Amino acid sequence: MKLTILGGGGFRVPLVYQAVAGGRGRVDVDEVVLLDDDPARPRVMGNVLGQLGAGTSGPAVRTTTDLDDAVAGADVVFSAIRVGGTAGRTHDERAALDLGVLGQETVGAGGLAYALRTVPVVDEVARRIAALAPQAWTISFTNPASIVTEAMRTHLGGRVVGICDTPIALVRRALRACGLDPRAFDRGEAEVDYGGLNHLGWLRGLRAGGRELLPGLLADDAALGGLEEVRLMGADWVRALRALPNEYLYYYDFAREAVAAIAAQRRTRGEFLARQQGAFYARAAAEPGRALTLWHETLAEREATYMATERETAAAGDREAEDLGGGYHEVAVDLMAALVGGEEHRMILDVANTGDDGAPLLPGLPADAVVEVPVRVDGAGVHPLPVRTPLAPAMLARVAAVKASERLVIEAARTGSRETAWLAFAMHPLVNSADVARRLVDAYR
């Protein structure tokens, strides 16, 4: 079985390879093809993977810079591209911060700028997959996930799915806080009502054994205080919401605090990663025998500093050591094992807003809009589960506004229309100013 990784020189590729190699008893991937437009980076990753798989029977790895060669005949395609690299990300962040708005790479102005660069590229990628590997499943990690998945669906329909590890991590933490097995939902032993968009969603219901558990959890100070999302945003706010928010809701609900804290740092997250990863690739190329050791050292620093500014601002303390989401690489392997390996899993994925019965999963949003909801996945495909607890009106209003902005930015990326891009930025709740939106568009052009 052939697995293609688009963005195969990316820093997290070894995590994906480890998960795939560890899951060969579930899905027998015998070839992994790394595609990257920078030939130096996949060479470094090839060294890391070679050392990672030394003495094991991991899949064979080869690299290429040719898209058609990479996707032709693929059974599964993992899309993990970063158009513009870390240089593009740092520009996105700084341009927004200079105008007093959030520059985070997946939400707000930074996410829209990232999408403007990315949509034309994933359009071409999706067209080539449709032509050369029409039966392949495309699993997209590429941010901003809601926008990118929706763009790729134009060419691939239901055979592209967007994934993220944050919603399933939230569900697992909530189940554990209720005294249940964190993977009870995965196995169908618990039901969840989670809905929204990628990095903009809430857990509104949690049931097991015929009981609704969320109200009791929200009332339990000790149990609630152990949830990372609550430590980040505060128990009083979570109780006011009557729901457990995805951790990225911090950027919406505490936008002013987030902007102030990020602006006060000497370096943005993108600038930190550009410097850190640039040093890693240079050292790993110069010392190929130490590539794996250098990668482990860099990864440890990267993970320890994730959302550090936000946690410090919110007095949330250190990030939880145990990753109950498993990381997007493990989510991807679970998804692949269900789609092509005969397993069945319950997950939270980015899919079209249409249930198997044709009704909208989240009423109030277009049927073809990509939303993030619970699903059941098996060899027949991805089957959305009913969302029994609808989004509260205020939540739906925010989701609808962000989705409208996302769809405008797809149109702007495809048409090159400055006016449409201006509308996309102005309509986003984290920009909320036509004048600032116009200056953002000029900065990002």
**Topology (CATH level 3) of domain 2-85+104-162:** Rossmann fold (3.40.50)
CA–CA distance, 21 with 249 (Å, rounded to integer): 34
Specify the 3-state DSSP secondary structure of 89. Answer: helix
Q: How does DSSP classify residue 142?
A: P
What is the structure's pLDDT at 206?
97
pLDDT of 314 > 60? The answer is yes
What is the structure's pLDDT at 307?
66
Region of 195 (left: φ > 0; alpha: ψ -120 to 50; beta: rest) is beta
Per the CB < 8 A criterion, the answer to whether 425 and 109 are in contact is: yes
Using CA atoms, how far residue 29 sits from 1, 47, 56, 147, in Å, is 5, 19, 14, 29
Per the CB < 8 A criterion, the answer to whether 146 and 178 are in contact is: no
What type of residue is 8? G
Per the CB < 8 A criterion, the answer to whether 108 and 96 are in contact is: yes
Show Cβ contacts of residue 405 under 8 Å, excluding neighbours closer than 6 positions: 112, 424, 425, 427, 428
CA–CA distance, 303 with 124 (Å, rounded to integer): 32
Please report, in angstroms and rounded to a whole number, the separation of the first and last CA atoms in the chain.
41
Per the CB < 8 A criterion, the answer to whether 117 and 42 are in contact is: no
CA–CA distance, 297 with 302 (Å, rounded to integer): 9
CA count, 13 A, side-chain hemisphere, 79: 31
Q: 88-97, 102-111, 195-204, 307-316: which has the highest mean pLDDT?
A: 195-204
pLDDT digits (tens, 9 = 90+) for 360-399: 999 999 999 999 999 999 999 999 998 888 899 999 999 9
Per the CB < 8 A criterion, the answer to whether 168 and 320 are in contact is: no
Using CA atoms, how far residue 205 sits from 168, 195, 217, 230, in Å, is 14, 10, 11, 16
Q: What is the DSSP string of 244-294?
A: EEPGGGHHHHTHHHHHHHHHHSSS-HHHHHHHHHHHHHHHHHH-GGGHHHH
What type of residue is 110? G
Other CB atoms within 10 A of residue 89 CB:
24
What type of residue is 269? R
CA–CA distance, 192 with 398 (Å, rounded to integer): 21
Other CB atoms within 10 A of residue 240 CB:
10
CA–CA distance, 276 with 65 (Å, rounded to integer): 24
pLDDT digits (tens, 9 = 90+) for 22-77: 888 899 999 999 999 998 999 999 899 989 877 677 899 999 999 999 999 999 99
pLDDT of 185 > 70? The answer is yes
Please report, rounded to a whole number, the percentage of residues in the chain having pLDDT higher than 70: 95
What is the average pLDDT score of the chain? Answer: 93
CA–CA distance, 189 with 353 (Å, rounded to integer): 24
Average pLDDT, integer, range 296-316: 76
What is the structure's pLDDT at 293?
95
CA count, 13 A, side-chain hemisphere, 148: 30
CA–CA distance, 292 with 17 (Å, rounded to integer): 13
Torsion, Cα 267 272 274 278, to 10 degrees, reads 130
